[in-house]
Structure 1
Amino acid sequence: MGYNQRYSFRADSWALPWLIVIAAVALGWAGRASAQEPVSVPLGGAASLALDAAQYGSVSGLSAVQASQELAVQEASVPVTDALAVEFADRLAGLSVGHRPFRIDVLLTGDAPVADRVVPLAGQPVAIRFRTGAYATHHQLVVALALHQTEIRASLTQPPGIGVDPRIGALVVMVGQADLRAEPVEAMRDRIARIAGVPVKIATLETPDIDLADLQGGMRLVGVDPANGRRYACTSGFVVRRGVESAIVTAAHCPDDLSWIDAAGGAHPLRYAGQWGWGYQDVQVNVADHGLPPVFWSDTAKTVSRTVTGARARASTRAGDIVCHRGERTGYSCAEVWMPDFAPAGDLCGGGCTPTWVAVRGPTCRSGDSGGPVFLGGTAFGIVKGGSYRGDGGCAFYYYMSVDFLPDGWVLATG
């Protein structure tokens, strides 16, 4: 099945660990800052989800009521898909969700049919649709990517981004234009499929993902890079805790020693606790001198803060899930998860990245969004690492590190 398919996708790309102009978290210094700084009462989960429904409705064409119902059903469906993954563990090739109306799609190996089902969720019937005949299980696809990533990278002139698309049960290999000029797409697809031993689709990229180091944002974190003496600015992500310590997370390549700058220009030092930027992580922790509330700015203007009420594990994140992010460059937007198992192109993780990043189909991303929170309602999903542009300059997709991979000992602060 997957051997006879081609997927074409042109993009410029970016990856964003260095200067992280991230969506700012409400750091709890409001009492120290000037009255010009935006301050709001943090919203709870239901009110936060209503804001995301309105945002999702604006890009999907759904009314606010329809979008709100879609997101309510989406969140209610997580235990159902978790159970399906266990029930069909030996045959599961892919699991995804769809919208308008909300549905659950399950792709299985083998030919033995499974009858479609209907389950009631959030006050409406939801169809569970089963398709059979996939070549490899999801587990086999992930293992094939991990085992053969080095060989696939070595066979191309530019290290590609590679992910598992659960909708089709195949690896998606995103190659550069130089490789497309050197080899016909069908021959490349079949050659890489022989290397990996699983179905492959080819996606095209104009350039490999690159790290960025520019821009500066909202509630500023500043520091000096000792390697070049330059002063960089970053913004903050979610609040984390370790025992009595309270800290913020940001992307790993921010300068180690940071200070938070309030609206009056006052500097509040944040003690560097460490950074983790290899394989599956892109995260840095800086500790505050006092307790921080578990809240973050979510809107473009940074006038609405939200309380973090929980987290979504990567294993429970489905292709098709609607998630939102806030970037200092692009503001607030909501979009659809593309691939929950994605390894970015290039050498952005101290070498090749593991297939543990989650790719999201825009609609907005830009250099400067790195490190920003990815969320839905009050649920934290992860921290933006990077993304890719289409040839017209629009955002093709971005990818984030799951909160599963916060550094050992540090836990997400929730209210």
Structure 2
Amino acid sequence: MRLLVPFLALLAAAPALAAEPVRLTAEQALAQDAERYAAIFAIPPAEALTRLKQQQASIAVTERLRIQYRDQLAAIVIEHRPSWGVVVRLTGRGLPADRVETEQGLPIPIRFESELPSTRALALRILDAERGALPRLVPGYRGAGVDPATGGLLVMQRPGADPRPVSVAEQALYDRLGLPVRIRRLDAVMTNSAAVGGGRVEGTSADGRRWRCTTGFVVRKATGELGVTTAAHCPDSLSWRGPDGEERLLPMAGAWGNAEHDVQVHTGVGPAEGVVFSDAAKQSVRPITSWATRPMTRSGDFLCLRGESSGYACNVVELTDFAPSGDLCGGLCANSWVTVAGPECRRGDSGAPLFLGTIAYGVLKGGAYLQGGTCAFSYYQSVDYLPDGWRVATVR
């Protein structure tokens, strides 16, 4: 049985590469992501590109919907099959009429579902209150999150740890928590992994082991100081290694690894700017022009990453409110982590940047490894949880 691990990250902007990588425009970066989307959903690339443009444009629409229906809102989900659209799931009776809104000249289909048993806000409060009890209530507990499908909780459990049928265990949790629970039995364990925005960093931990990680994003302070992020579980002292073999020592400015954080910032990056490697071979970079917060992120959003071990990989968001099990966050983890479907996630990816087109979403923490090394899902820290004073550096 493999472990559920956070990955180590590589540097987002390459200082002084011998062979300058191709710089993609915002349109080219999104088209690159659309090629992966087209392959996953078996549609033409042109349609895939339109859908990703709709996904980006729909953030403004779903922010309005989130405010309008805040007292009834169970979930907002991006749907890909049989066609692309936004699904708004509400509690209570009375179903608003489906409609199509226009944003940035693009149609945004909106479909409503009602009579879900719990609002997202209530489910979050219950998850937060019961995080300490769930490991005792669920044998083989592997974390939990708010379930966008039901408005209740989705609980991860190791197969064979509980002899009861799933339905019996779910009913027992419903009786305790007062909202629906769906159990997903997953042969994987949560733990931290090693770390190397899409570039390679290496270091030695206190126990003498050699790690590689992936850097996430170039970040900036209001004072103008530049740094680059990676995962907080990476070694404190890291060296950047460029594609041409150049090495640069990166002093650590600080590390934040508790509750909702797994990030550290390293300085000494030189005259870096807000770009990340855009492909496995590090032959192209994409600019970062803005970022999306966790509240803006929906289940079903299509995102990509550039990790030192996985290369360039893409898939959809599953949970936006996930609390990993164990003490991976210096104690109990907050329910602020976002999960992305597998199968791409590997050791060495920790700290890797999550993006769509030129929009930054988060930095990778870990993943759920099944037998044989297959990744069931990965999970990341949203960029709105960067430490105080640091913000994603963007290119105008």
CA apart distance, 1:161: 1.2
Query: Do residues 50 (structure 1) and 43 (structure 2) align?
Result: no
Q: CA deviation at 1:122?
A: 5.3
Determine if contact 2:198/2:306 at 8 Å carries over to the other structure: no
* Long gaps (5+) in structure 1: 1-10
Cα distance per residue 1:41-96 (max 9 Å; x no partner): 42232221111111211221111101001101111111111000101011111111
Quick one: structure 1 residues 262 and 302, their matched pair in 2 at CA, closer, same or farther if it must change by over 3 Å? closer
8 Å Cα contact 2:199-2:241 kept in structure 1: yes
The amino acid of 2:12's aligned partner reads V
Q: Find out whether 1:16 has 2:6 as its counterpart.
A: yes
Out of 4, 8, 15, the position equivalent to 1:28 is: 15
Residues 340-371 of structure 1: per-residue CA shift (max 9 Å, x gap):
11111232111221110111112411222211
Q: 1:197 aligns with which of 178, 200, 203?
A: 178
Q: How many equivalent pairs are there?
A: 393
Indicate whether 1:39 and 2:29 are aligned. no
Counterpart contact for 2:139–2:162, Cα < 8 Å: no
Aligned mate of 2:220, from 226, 241, 248: 241
Code of the aligned partner of 1:200: V
Residue 120 (structure 1) shift: 2.8
Counterpart Cα distance in 2 of 1:306 and 1:289:
18
Q: Aligned residue for 2:88? A: 106
| 1:291 and 2:281 correspond | no
State which of 55, 61, 64 in structure 2 corresponds to 1:80.
Answer: 61
Separation of aligned partners in 1, 2:15 and 2:88: 44
2:247 is matched with which residue? 267
1:72/1:122 contact within 8 Å kept: no
Quick check: 1:334–1:363 contact (8 Å CA) kept in 2?
A: no
Deviation at 1:24, TM superposition (A): 4.0
How far the C-alpha of 1:263 sits from its partner, in A, is: 5.3
Q: Find the partner of 2:285 among 285, 301, 305.
A: 305
- Relative to structure 1, the CA distance from residue 223 to residue 334 in structure 2 (aligned partners, 3 Å threshold; closer, same or farther) is closer
Q: Is the 8 A contact 1:217 1:233 kept in 2?
A: no
- Give the TM-score of the pair, scaled to structure 2: 0.93
258-267 vs 43-52, which moves further? 258-267
Structure 2: unaligned runs, 5 residues or longer: none
Query: Residues 61, 263 of structure 1: CA spacing in aligned structure 2 closer, same or farther, 3 A cutoff?
Result: closer
Q: CA deviation at 1:165?
A: 1.8
Deviations along 1:102-135, one digit per CA (max 9) or x if unpaired, are: 2111111111222222223455543211111111
The amino acid of 2:147's aligned partner reads D
Contact 2:345/2:375 (8 A) holds in 1: yes
Match of 1:382 among 333, 343, 362: 362
Say if 2:115 is the partner of 1:128. no
Residues 58-67 or 385-394, more deviating: 385-394
Counterparts in 2 of 1:202 and 1:259: CA distance versus 1, 3 Å: same
**One-letter identity of the residue aligned with 2:87:** D
Q: Is the 2:144–2:322 contact (alpha carbons within 8 Å) kept by the matching residues of 1?
A: yes
Match among 144, 159, 165 for residue 162 of structure 1: 144
Question: What root-mean-square deviation, in Å, do the aligned CA atoms of Structure 1 and Structure 2 show?
Answer: 2.1
Cα gap change, 1:364/1:193 in structure 2, threshold over 3 Å: closer, same or farther? same
- The Cα shift of 1:264 comes to 6.0
Structure 1 residues 229 and 113, CA gap change in structure 2 (3 angstroms): closer
- Counterpart for residue 4 of structure 1: none
Identity rate, percent: 40
Mapped partners of 2:301, 2:197: distance in 1: 28
